[in-house]
Amino acid sequence: MALAVTSSISLSGLIGNLIEVEVDISDGLPSYILLGLPDAALSESRDRVRAALVNSGESWPNKKVTVSLSPAWLPKSGSAFDLPIAITILMAQGRIPKDEPESAIYLGELSLDGQVREVRGVLPAVLSAKKSGFKRALVPLKNYAEARCISGIEVVPVTSLNEAIAYLRGELTPIFPDTSSVAQNDYFLDLCDVAGQVGARKALEIAAIGLHHLLFIGPPGTGKTMLAERIPSILPPLTEDSILEVTAIHSIAGTLLDRDLLSKLPPFVAPHHTTTAPAMIGGGTHAIRPGATSLAHQGVLFIDEAPECARGVLDSLRQPLESGNVTISRAIGSITYPARFMLVLAANPCPCGRFSGRGRSCTCTQIAIRRYRQRLSGPLLDRIDLRVFVDSPSRIELASEELGESSATVRERVIQARKTADERFQDCTWKLNSQIPPSQLRKRFRAERSAMSFLHSELDNERLSARGFHKVLRISWSIADSNGHVIPSRSDVEMAFALREGMELLV
């Protein structure tokens, strides 16, 4: 009997589970038995591993081969176990020296000719391996750049099974490609491209300070999408922890090609309005993948033509907006992904798009306008902090050669306002104005007396809900930080109330 053990990582969301790959080769009828709750892709590893070994010049044992992935109760999925299974089989045959299971992890899919193909989720897997005490990781060459983002663990890139075998035999010194130029942090879109829209630009700045959710309503062609696309350029750069977390999510989703590694630029995700609820929240049959809400974590989720979304898609955002994460339950298990993002919605004021209450030639009936706006449910709108009407810029604004403020200028003000908030929240578990708990708003973070009296009056007149009351207070703190006020004044609160209620829509 020949026995060998190596290690790999199985991901459950962003959490990596240590997997021991055990191979037993014993006398008996030639067979291959795979244990440990494998999915379909993993069950097919037998033919991939066998062809890869034979085409790499190695022998396939003409005996009974039993492969066990422990712990046996944890479901396993994906093709990343191909390389560790092949390596363990060779160790069991004595073709390569046996190694301690806790010394290295192996990740990679094998092609039939023995090439090692890239797999998803390498970055969070290597991070989990480091936390488990591993010192070395063998990964596909195409995954080397993301795996190298984790310091404190040796990452060995391999292009083929032959190369991995030669390295383990001590016959090959691996070549480490240069990854120093993978991180690009350029801002390609600038706020100075937007003509006019002074009020909307101010609302963007306030939203960026506190990471408040935002709704743009206005006729087509007024710049709603241009404004939304430039929000990442005025947000502060991501911290090191946030960079790794965002990169790990995109690694699992397989969307790293759409985003530079270690980019400090907050993500911007803009799903089409025909997207489904599973695509928005996340899901899957064989493996639970993150959706648009998680891909936008620490950044912006922008939904254009929001009223055109299918029924229930936008309402599925209500829970992530409150909790900052999303839990997806399927038959294969439950996984929680982080989903703390700034939601930005854009909508026309009516089906024809020309209604504004300012003399436009709208052809829609009042009933049609009401039905169109009711596609955005009341509970969802109650979770939107700022509601801004975006009208067409004037001829003078469009013809002017003088550009508005650049994103860099606005970003500096946002960073300074956030530093003020950081000092205020230094003994708290939250760092943003939009995250202040209701109990703390009533206890520690109140506005001036006259400002609180104004809010209580609006609450008594039923123009504010309890959630709206807290939302206005949070917005007022962002406005106060922007204006350099120690606590929100009455003018700050009145401006927050106007932005919250979207008074311009009533003109």
- Show Cβ contacts of residue 409 under 8 Å, excluding neighbours closer than 6 positions: none
Contact at 8 Å (CB) between 385 and 211? no
Q: Which SS3 state, helix, strand or coil, does residue 26 take? A: strand
Tokens describing residue 394: 């004037």
Q: Where in the chain is the domain with CATH 3.40.50.300?
A: 191-426
Spatial distance between the Cα atoms of 372 and 278, rounded to a whole number of angstroms: 24
- Is 3.40.50.300 the CATH classification of the domain at 191-426? yes
Q: Quick one: which H or E segment has residue 10? A: strand 2-12
Number of C-beta neighbours around residue 64 at 10 A = 16
pTM: 0.88
Helix ranges (H only) for 30-131 are 40-43, 45-55, 82-93, 122-131
The amino acid sitting at 376 is L
Residue 304's Cβ-side half-sphere holds a number of Cα atoms within 13 Å equal to: 15
What is the pLDDT, as a whole number, of residue 85?
A: 96
Candidate CATH numbers 2.160.20, 1.25.40, 1.10.8, 1.10.20; the one for domain 436-502: 1.10.8
What is the pLDDT, as a whole number, of residue 186?
A: 56
Q: Where in the chain is the domain with CATH 3.30.230.10?
A: 2-168
Share in percent of the chain as helix, strand, coil (round to 5):
40, 20, 40
Contact at 8 Å (CB) between 283 and 306? no
Q: Where in the chain is the domain with CATH 1.10.8?
A: 436-502
What is the pLDDT, as a whole number, of residue 179?
A: 65
Nearest to 297 by CA among 274, 321, 329: 321
Mean pLDDT of each 10-residue bin along the chain, 507 residues long = 89 91 92 91 91 94 94 90 96 88 90 94 94 93 91 93 93 77 61 84 93 91 90 92 91 78 88 92 84 94 92 90 89 86 92 69 84 87 90 77 83 94 90 91 89 90 86 94 92 91 50
Q: Is the peptide bond before 71 cis (omega within 30 degrees of 0)?
A: yes
What is the pLDDT, as a whole number, of residue 254?
A: 84
What is the pLDDT, as a whole number, of residue 504?
A: 43
Q: Is the peptide bond before 101 cis (omega within 30 degrees of 0)?
A: no
Tokens describing residue 232: 């990442």
Question: Could you tell me which CATH number the domain at 2-168 has?
Answer: 3.30.230.10
Spatial distance between the Cα atoms of 373 and 381, rounded to a whole number of angstroms: 11
What is the pLDDT, as a whole number, of residue 133?
A: 92
